[in-house]
Amino acid sequence: MLTIERLFTMTNIKSLNIGAITGGKGLFSSEDALGVVAVVQLSHPLGVKILEAKISGSEYAMRILGKAVTRFFVGKGYEQSIAAAMGFMVVREVCQVPICSSCNGVGERYSKKFNQLFECQVCHGTGKILLTKNHLANQLSVLCNKTISNHVFNTVYYDDYMQAVDLMYGDEQRAATLARRTLDQTALEIDLGIA
Ligand SMILES: [Zn+2]
């Protein structure tokens, strides 16, 4: 079965010439892949860009996302330079999440002593390195080249930051679900010879 990862690898411009691959009876071509992505893009443009950034490491997708999130913060009344810095941080958090080295991104660790799996204590079961509020305050200070204390970050910026992160994750999730559904539908049509 064709995965979403494979779908976005097929639509990555660099790999467009990989040609068609077999999927069931018929062929699922790069054009089919582009068609699926186009359908998803219509309703979840941000989510598609997040998947492209995560799966193909597309810098172009990250730039588009950065601009969109910057506009989100400008719309909330942020000064342009802070909005751009926050946009950069949100995109990096969502698209380039470093994997927890303690559990290798699994979120669980096996205990020999108890002979069972336990939630990883380092990442609290998320499998990712979690950025603390203090990390974020530091990042924003560096990016804006002015001191933003942990207290100011927590009271002024944190809620808006998390709102943007949640919006991004939500659209990514919806884009992935729709991509999966459209992919299955397209594969079925190809198998039935009606695509
Ligand atoms: Zn972990």
CA of 18 to the centre of ligand 1 (A): 36
- Indicate the number of domains in the chain: 1
Domain extent for 147: 4-192
CA of 120 to the centre of ligand 1 (A): 5
CA of 194 to the centre of ligand 1 (A): 46
CA of 105 to the centre of ligand 1 (A): 6
pLDDT of residue 195: 58
Query: What is the tens place of the pLDDT at every residue in 111-161?
Result: 888 888 899 988 888 888 878 899 999 999 999 999 999 999 999 999 999
Contact between 36 and 183 under an 8 Å Cβ cutoff? The reply is yes
Which of these, 162, 151, 171, 149, lies nearest to 90 by C-alpha position?
162
Quickly list H helices, the chain.
Answer: 4-11, 30-43, 45-56, 59-75, 80-95, 133-144, 150-152, 158-192
**What's the whole-model pTM score?**
0.77
Instruction: Give the number of other CB atoms < 10 A from CB of residue 98.
Output: 12
CA of 129 to the centre of ligand 1 (A): 7
Contact between 40 and 175 under an 8 Å Cβ cutoff? The reply is yes
SS3 112: coil
CA of 118 to the centre of ligand 1 (A): 10
Give me 42's structure tokens.
Answer: 């219509």
Q: Give residue for tokens 């990390």.
A: 135
pLDDT category, 11, cuts 50, 70, 90? confident
CA of 127 to the centre of ligand 1 (A): 5
Residue 18: pLDDT over 80? no
Residues ≥6 apart with Cβ < 8 Å to 41: 48
Which of 20-24, 32-36, 82-86, 91-95 has the least mean pLDDT? 20-24
Residue 185: pLDDT over 90? no
CA of 95 to the centre of ligand 1 (A): 18
Instruction: Give the number of other CB atoms < 10 A from CB of residue 130.
Output: 13
CA of 35 to the centre of ligand 1 (A): 37
Maximum average pLDDT range among 31-40, 92-101, 135-144: 135-144
- Strand pairing class (26-28; 108-111): unpaired
Residue 192: pLDDT over 70? yes
CA of 45 to the centre of ligand 1 (A): 31
